């Protein structure tokens, strides 16, 4: 497996060099255009020191697997982001033949991996990471809770639901609701809170789908992103076994966008 440690600046500048207009998941490290202009020389020197680029015959020549990986980042129309407990983050950029993972090491650096085909990587890398640490627990209730995504992040940080009355009102529940009681207990005792977000491009517009997986000693929960009356919500429900896996897979099924990457020349630019 090919892998490189790259700074945010290096990734961002190479993607721009290849004509990428948007780099989903990695924000610009530059405060203004002038700062970016002065960073080019330093960036190419660092890439040269890593044997990733050379200047011969009056043109830049990149190491083949490296520039192919950067090309996927620049031209993909499908990205999967996995966040674990609001800390660990990986971005998977889909190409025709490979998936490129950018694993966040800190605020400035990423470890970049070249994985195999999208189908294999989805089944053997992405889905197992979302299910990592989950136990096979039965579900008891099949009702759903509508939750505000911002509030949910706070629940995980604080390990409690700070706005119980608001949740009761939004879901038209009574104060003794078993569904709410079991969700409150799951938040207090959770083991893992993983999030999968899919960014996909259709008709030059970026769209988003996603699901959270919350595990606790009693029940596992999936929280699916939805839009109702123009507002974003998470639809939370208990999930177990194949239902838990199907909730994750259904996010990809709803996207239905085959990843396509242009086949242009990339090794000598």
Per-residue pLDDT of the chain (269 residues; tens, 9 = 90+): 799 999 999 999 999 999 998 899 898 898 887 888 889 889 989 999 999 999 887 788 999 999 999 999 999 999 999 998 767 899 999 999 999 999 999 989 999 999 999 989 988 999 888 887 777 777 788 899 999 999 999 999 999 999 999 999 999 999 899 999 999 999 999 988 899 999 998 888 899 999 999 988 888 999 999 988 888 999 999 988 677 778 888 887 777 654 444 444 444 44
What tokens does 6 get? Answer: 């790259």
Contact 210, 225 (CB under 8 A): yes
pTM: predicted TM-score of the whole model, two decimal places:
0.87
Starting at the edge strand found earlier in the chain, the sheet holding 109-114 runs 3-7, 109-114, 99-104, 88-94, 78-84, 192-202, 205-215, 220-228, 231-239, 145-147
Q: Give the angle 60-66-69 at the CA atoms, nearest 5°.
A: 120
CA distance 257 to 261: 12
R_g of the chain, CA atoms, integer Å:
21
What tokens does 159 get? Answer: 């390990």
Contact 196, 225 (CB under 8 A): no
For 132, the enclosing helix (H) or strand (E) is none
User: What pLDDT sits at residue 265?
Assistant: 41
Kindly report the number of other CB atoms within 10 A of residue 58's CB atom: 5
Please give the sequence-ordered ranges of beta strands (E in DSSP) within 85-182, or none if there are none. 88-94, 99-104, 109-114, 145-147
What tokens does 247 get? Answer: 């909730």
Q: Which of 164, 167, 163, 160 is nearest to 236 (CA)?
A: 167
User: What pLDDT sits at residue 256?
Assistant: 62
Which backbone phi and psi does 226 adopt, to 5 degrees? Answer: -150, 165
């Amino acid at each position: 497996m090919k892998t490189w440690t790259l700074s945010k600046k290096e990734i961002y500048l190479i993607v721009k060099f290849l004509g990428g207009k948007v780099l989903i998941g990695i924000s610009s490290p530059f405060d203004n255009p002038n700062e970016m202009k002065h960073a080019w020389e330093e960036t190419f020197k660092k890439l040269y020191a890593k044997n990733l680029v050379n200047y011969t015959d009056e043109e830049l020549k990149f190491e083949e697997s490296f520039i192919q990986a950067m090309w996927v980042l620049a031209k993909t129309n499908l990205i999967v982001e996995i966040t674990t407990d609001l800390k660990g983050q990986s971005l998977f950029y889909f190409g025709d033949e490979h998936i490129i993972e950018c694993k966040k090491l800190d605020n400035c650096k990423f470890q970049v991996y070249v994985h195999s085909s999208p189908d294999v990587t989805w089944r053997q890398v992405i889905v197992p990471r979302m299910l990592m640490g989950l136990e096979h627990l039965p579900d008891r209730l099949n009702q759903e809770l509508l939750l505000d995504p911002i509030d949910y992040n706070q629940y995980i940080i604080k390990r409690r639901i700070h706005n119980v009355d608001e949740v009761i009102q939004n879901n038209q529940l009574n104060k003794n609701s078993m569904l709410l009681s079991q969700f409150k207990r799951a938040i207090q005792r959770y083991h893992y809170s993983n999030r999968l977000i899919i960014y996909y491009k259709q008709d030059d517009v970026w769209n988003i789908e996603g699901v959270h997986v919350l595990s606790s000693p009693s029940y596992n929960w999936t929280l699916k992103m939805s839009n109702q009356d123009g507002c974003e919500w998470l639809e939370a429900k208990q999930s177990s076994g194949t239902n838990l896996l199907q909730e994750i897979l259904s996010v990809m099924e709803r996207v239905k966008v085959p990843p396509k990457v242009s086949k242009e020349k990339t090794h000598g630019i």
